[in-house]
Structure 1
Amino acid sequence: MVDARDRLTADPFDWQRTASGQVRVSRGGRLVAVVAGAAARRLDRVLDGGDDGAIQHALARATGNYKRGNER
């Protein structure tokens, strides 16, 4: 995982699973993405077995803006 500015550690993403199988991704108390369907199932595999760094990286990727650094 590449987090050169250490932003994922300083301001991590939060997540929760819903009963319908969606994964709700939030940061700083604000909802930033809702992942559903096949993408949610792929994300679940990381959330179940990954370390914290891998989980934060996967959540950043799920927001769609991880390359630009504006995943707020």
Structure 2
Amino acid sequence: MGDIDKRNRFDEAPFSYKVTKNNTVLIDYYGKQVKLLKEKDAEKILEKIKMAEDEKAVKLILAKITGNFKRGNERVMNHKNL
């Protein structure tokens, strides 16, 4: 994994996933659902997870499938702006 997780973010375990009884994959980021995969997409990701060598590799797979939604430049929602 080397240079991919330089800041050791995957040690915190931000990503998790659940598989429903109809083989839908729900991907969570710190407990909030960020991605839902069905049918062929779900099959592909589950196959990749089975082939992963360790837990960090699984977290990397989950991070990649969710896309680049977390860059660090997101604004924090302020109640005054609502």
TM-score band, normalised by the shorter chain? 0.7 to 0.9
RMSD: 1.9
Runs of 4+ in 1 over 2 A off after TM superposition: 46-49
- State the percentage of identical aligned residues: 26
Separation (CA, whole Å) in 1 of partners of 2:32 and 2:9: 16
Separation (CA, whole Å) in 1 of partners of 2:59 and 2:26: 13
The SS at the match of 2:33 is strand
- TM-score of the superposed pair, with normalisation by structure 2: 0.70
- In the alignment, which of 14, 17, 23 is matched to residue 15 of structure 1? 17
- Kindly name which structure, 1 or 2, has the bigger radius of gyration based on alpha carbons: 2
Separation (CA, whole Å) in 2 of partners of 1:69 and 1:9: 18
Pairing of 1:1-72 with structure 2 (within 5 A): 1=1, 2-50=4-52, 51-65=54-68, 69=71
Gaps of 5+ in 2: 73-82
- TM-score of the superposed pair, with normalisation by structure 1: 0.77
Gaps of 5+ in 1: none
Shift of 1:13: 0.7
The SS at the match of 1:20 is coil
Shift of 1:37: 2.1
